[in-house]
Chain A
Amino acid sequence: MVRNNRVATVFTHLLLILGIAVMCLPIWLTFVGSTVTRAEIIQPPLPLWPGDQLLLNYREALFGGRNAPVLQMLWNSAIMALGIAVGKIVISLLSAFAIVYFRFPGRQLVFWTIFLTLMLPVEVRIVPTYEIAVNLKLLNTHAGLILPLIASATATFLFRQFFLTIPDELAEAARMDGAGPMRFFKDILLPLSRTNIAALFVILFIYGWNQYLWPLLITTDPDMNTIVMGIKRMIPSADDYGNWPVTMATAILAILPPALVVIVMQRLFVKGLIETEK
């Protein structure tokens, strides 16, 4: 190391801790907000240490709620996040397999069609996509939350890239061993892709969990809201003090699942993040 100066090291650590403190501050304050009474919030300043209302507030959020119980919204979010992650992975694995291991007329066209989806995020085609979803009777359904979001160019390209690094001879050996394409896919390709699938799963789960605009459009029934978008209805408006503690408890509950995924599967998460951007 170049900088082995003691003072400098201590200083660096201090700065880092300060940075982390600033980064964590909003979450800490949110947590504090979820443990106090409404009265404590309405009378600023907000205490900097948690209160004793934790159980009460979280219970009210989970089972009471202002529109739908948060438990119901958590359930919807879980279905949506899992559906999107699994759906994207399955669909992308299959298309990448077809693109890499077969030559068929129209292959280039398929490749570019998939590429095109990169240029069409939900945000730029809000109204027509909504109209189509309405026509297909997808309003207020889990399928409606999931299906329009599970085409994935990024995941397809990632798997394609990975398949291209698997030596041709492996597929040929499997063919000599009498394995047909689907057998090869199941016995060789899937086991070899395991880490990639897991890493991608972490990223896509978070992506699905954090969706906001699409659930906002497609779920008008509070019982179908996901937690990330449902919380919007729980924000007290400026002239009404509302129930901030319950809203803050909901925010913490919305953060918890994806945050746990990131922390527990940190290595896969980092791998997934870096690979999907390649």
Chain B
Amino acid sequence: MSGRVVFRSVWLPWLLVAPQLAITAVFFLWPAGEAILQSTQLPDPFGLSTQYVGWENFDYLFGDRYYRASFLTTAIFSLSVTALSMGVSLLLAVLADGVIRGSGVYRTLLIWPYAVAPAISGVMWLFIFQPSIGLFPYWLKAIGYNWNHVLNSGEAMSLVVIASAWKQVSYNFLFFLAGLQAIPRSLIEAAAIDGASPWHRFRTIILPLLSPTTFFLLVINVVYAFFETFGVIHTITAGGPGQSTMIMVYKVYADGFIGQDLGSSAAQSVILMLIVGVLTIVQFRFIERRVHY
């Protein structure tokens, strides 16, 4: 980035970055600051005045059984979404990479669910699994299983995981396929000549060479499951039944907007900011390394 002094002007560069900075200041930095400020305050019951309470909101949060539970719920949810969507897409990508003819067609057919919004994915899966009218509960009933995610928290969790993972398969598939196609054929052929079975080839050659892509997708999927699945939760379960699908992002919304507990919601925001911060740094450090490949 050195030696590139091309144009000289004192005011023009500021004018150019002004829109970006203005938006950032008003809608990013200011609210973030507010969140930090509010996280140390407690409004009185009538919302007329606020009082500085220091760490009290945080103390209260970590003492709250439900908040601790939402940590665990978030962890289970993110890991399940990541594992399910990455597993399915890796399988599909390996298959698509293996066919000579038609891999373009398969790709087209597989990538467009990316265009489906998480909320719409939620609506669709809800329709399919709706306990009284859905097709799947009907089939399940035929084999003697009574599906009702409105009451059963395990089923609720499964449903939001499926709806979230389904949407993300396209994205993962695309990157896995690109990663697979970047592996030199000669390596795989050499292993085949050495007598390695397809499974052995996959485990000892393809998987290790795919590890940069896998790690990258891991981070992206965790971020997705953390923050972008709000629509899925909101349309399917709204955090229920009980608090069984109350992931952290949803809880910020539920406590702040529905519960009107601003201090707690702000404290949760601050904790989430720290988590995104860590994830962003992990992602960037990794990408920096990837550039040096």
The answer on direct contact between A and B (beta carbons under 8 Å) is yes
Contacts A20-B109, A46-B135, A128-B38: A278 and B287 contacting too (C-beta < 8 A)? yes
Over the window 160-175 of chain B, the binary record of Cβ atoms lying under 8 Å from chain A Cβ atoms (1 yes, 0 no) is 0000001001010011
- A277–B106 touching, CB < 8 Å: no
A3→B266 CA distance, assembly (Å): 57
Asked whether any CB of chain B lies closer than 8 Å to the CB of A254, the reply is yes
Chain B residues positioned under 8 Å from A244 (CB to CB): 127, 133
Chain A residues positioned under 8 Å from B169 (CB to CB): 23
Chain B residues positioned under 8 Å from A110 (CB to CB): 17, 21
Stretch of B44-52, B58-66, B69-77, B251-259 on the interface side: B251-259
A101→B113 CA distance, assembly (Å): 39
Task: Look across to chain A and name the residue whose beta carbon is closest to the beta carbon of B91.
Answer: A19
Task: Look across to chain B and name the residue whose beta carbon is closest to the beta carbon of A104.
Answer: B13
Chain A residues positioned under 8 Å from B7 (CB to CB): 101-102, 171, 175, 180-181, 184
* Majority SS at the chain B contact face: helix
Over the window 82-109 of chain B, the binary record of Cβ atoms lying under 8 Å from chain A Cβ atoms (1 yes, 0 no) is 0000001001100110111010001011
- B27–A16 touching, CB < 8 Å: no
Asked whether any CB of chain B lies closer than 8 Å to the CB of A27, the reply is yes
Asked whether any CB of chain B lies closer than 8 Å to the CB of A262, the reply is yes
Over the window 7-43 of chain B, the binary record of Cβ atoms lying under 8 Å from chain A Cβ atoms (1 yes, 0 no) is 1111011101101110110111111111100100000
Number of interface residues of A (CB under 8 A): 105
Contacts A259-B112, A270-B174, A274-B178: A132 and B123 contacting too (C-beta < 8 A)? no
- A124–B124 touching, CB < 8 Å: no
- B175–A274 touching, CB < 8 Å: yes
Asked whether any CB of chain A lies closer than 8 Å to the CB of B198, the reply is yes
A13→B131 CA distance, assembly (Å): 34
- B30–A132 touching, CB < 8 Å: yes
Asked whether any CB of chain A lies closer than 8 Å to the CB of B116, the reply is yes
Contact of B256 among A91, A126, A182, A266 (CB under 8 A): A126
A30→B21 CA distance, assembly (Å): 43
Chain B residues positioned under 8 Å from A107 (CB to CB): 13
Asked whether any CB of chain B lies closer than 8 Å to the CB of A116, the reply is yes
- B131–A238 touching, CB < 8 Å: yes
Contact of A127 among B98, B201, B257 (CB under 8 A): B257
Residue ranges of A at the interface with B (Cβ–Cβ < 8 Å): 1-3, 9, 12-13, 15-16, 19-20, 23-24, 26-27, 29-30, 33, 41-42, 44-46, 90-92, 94-95, 97-104, 107, 110, 113-114, 116-121, 123-133, 136, 147-148, 150-152, 156, 164, 168, 171-172, 175, 180-182, 184, 206, 209-213, 216-217, 228-229, 231-232, 235, 238, 241, 244, 247-248, 251, 254-255, 258-259, 261-263, 266, 269-270, 273-274, 277-278
20 contacts between A and B (CB under 8 A): A2-B189, A23-B109, A27-B116, A27-B124, A42-B133, A90-B19, A92-B20, A98-B13, A102-B12, A121-B227, A123-B228, A124-B272, A125-B269, A128-B34, A132-B34, A171-B6, A244-B127, A266-B108, A274-B175, A278-B287
